[in-house]
């Protein structure tokens, strides 16, 4: 009987030890979020924090306007607690997926954003600009909508998501104010962009005029002689020391204009995507805002 009691005690101790280890090794399940492109990915990461596992559909370094989803992308969306996307012509692929995939929670951020008018009517911008997030005001709306959706899904941790979102929004406002001061003190108030122009919302927010070669989502980027001549003349007339080019661009047209005017070519980031190196180094929307501020400071003076 005594031997039996000893064996029983050992068994109970082992059960407690192993059950204790089991509890320690079981990590809380994170909210699985899938985002179509880098802007909503970044905002979702900021809001969810350590409680979320966010996947990016658009591969770093690739063009949003030419993207085609893979079978894995479709599976990731289907298995998500939340799928966030922008909406619009550049993400028509999303509509096809949503027709065949059952997802409980989908957030189309474009539904909460307002259109803006272009300052410049020198060029026919037949393709609407879908880069809403280049306006800090719109970025804040997107962060808030993502936060609201996540709070609906995970009510238990709503206070944490609220705090994360508020902290990020405060930082966006701080960066935006710094950039406003740079623009206000700049010699020029016109962006000359021999490239696509995904900055309609950016220019509207900061009160900048612009002269560009193509619209933000233009597929045809072969410039004719008249376009090139107008851009060269614009640089000379404004005594501009720099022209701007979008991220991940070949920069061919911008370099042509620069060679004929002596202007410098400076990247102005639209955050439609980032390079693989930037992605691996956790570059955020806030980092891009700081980069663009420096670009404006250099290019508009």
Instruction: Give the DSSP H/E element, type plus range, for residue 91.
Output: none
DSSP 138-170: HHHHHHHHHHHHHHHH-GGGHHHHHHHHHHHHH
> How would you write the pLDDT of the chain (301 residues) with one tens digit per residue?
444 343 334 343 444 344 444 444 445 688 999 999 999 999 999 999 999 999 999 999 987 777 888 888 888 898 999 999 998 777 878 888 887 776 668 999 998 886 544 444 344 344 468 899 999 999 999 999 999 999 999 999 999 999 999 999 999 999 999 999 999 999 999 999 999 899 999 999 999 999 988 766 656 566 778 888 999 999 999 999 999 999 988 888 999 999 999 999 999 999 989 999 999 999 999 999 999 999 999 999 9
Q: Name, in order, each residue with C-beta under 8 angstroms of 224's C-beta and a sequence gap of 6 or more.
A: none
269 vs 219: CA distance, rounded Å: 19
The predicted model scores a pTM of: 0.84
For residues 165 and 142, is the Cβ–Cβ distance under 8 A? no
Q: Name, in order, each residue with C-beta under 8 angstroms of 257's C-beta and a sequence gap of 6 or more.
A: 192, 194, 228, 231, 232, 235, 243, 263
For residues 77 and 100, is the Cβ–Cβ distance under 8 A? no
175 vs 167: CA distance, rounded Å: 13
Q: What is residue 70's predicted lDDT score, i.e. its pLDDT?
A: 86
268 vs 247: CA distance, rounded Å: 7
On the 0-12 / 13-18 / 19+ scale of CB atoms within 10 A, 74 is middle
5 vs 7: CA distance, rounded Å: 5
The domains found in the chain, sorted by start residue, are 31-114+127-173 (3.40.50.1980), 174-299 (3.40.50.1980)
């Amino acid at each position: 009987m005594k031997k039996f009691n000893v064996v029983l005690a050992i068994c109970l101790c082992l059960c407690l030890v192993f059950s204790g280890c089991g509890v320690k090794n079981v990590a809380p399940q994170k909210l699985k979020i899938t985002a179509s492109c880098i802007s909503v990915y970044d905002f979702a990461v900021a809001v969810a924090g350590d409680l979320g596992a966010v996947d990016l559909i658009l591969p770093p370094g690739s063009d949003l306007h030419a993207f085609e989803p893979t079978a894995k992308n479709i599976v990731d969306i289907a298995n998500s607690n939340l799928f966030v996307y922008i909406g619009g012509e550049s993400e028509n692929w999303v509509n096809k997926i949503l027709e065949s995939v059952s997802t409980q929670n989908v957030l189309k951020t474009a539904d909460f954003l307002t259109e803006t008018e272009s300052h410049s009517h020198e060029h026919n911008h037949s393709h609407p600009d879908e880069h809403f997030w280049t306006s800090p005001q719109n970025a804040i709306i997107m962060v808030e909508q993502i936060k609201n959706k996540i709070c609906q899904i995970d009510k238990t941790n709503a206070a944490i998501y609220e705090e994360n979102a508020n902290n990020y929004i405060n930082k966006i406002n701080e960066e935006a104010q710094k950039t406003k001061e740079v623009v206000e003190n700049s010699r020029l108030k016109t962006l000359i962009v021999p490239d696509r122009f995904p900055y309609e919302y950016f220019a509207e927010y900061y009160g900048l005029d612009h002269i560009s070669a193509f619209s933000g989502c233009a597929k045809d980027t072969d410039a004719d002689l008249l376009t090139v001549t107008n851009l060269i003349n614009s640089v000379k007339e404004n005594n501009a020391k720099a022209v701007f080019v979008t991220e991940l661009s070949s920069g061919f047209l911008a370099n042509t204009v620069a060679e004929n005017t002596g202007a410098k070519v400076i990247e102005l980031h639209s955050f439609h995507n980032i390079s693989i190196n930037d992605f691996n180094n956790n570059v955020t929307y806030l980092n891009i805002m700081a980069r663009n501020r420096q670009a404006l400071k250099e290019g508009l003076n």
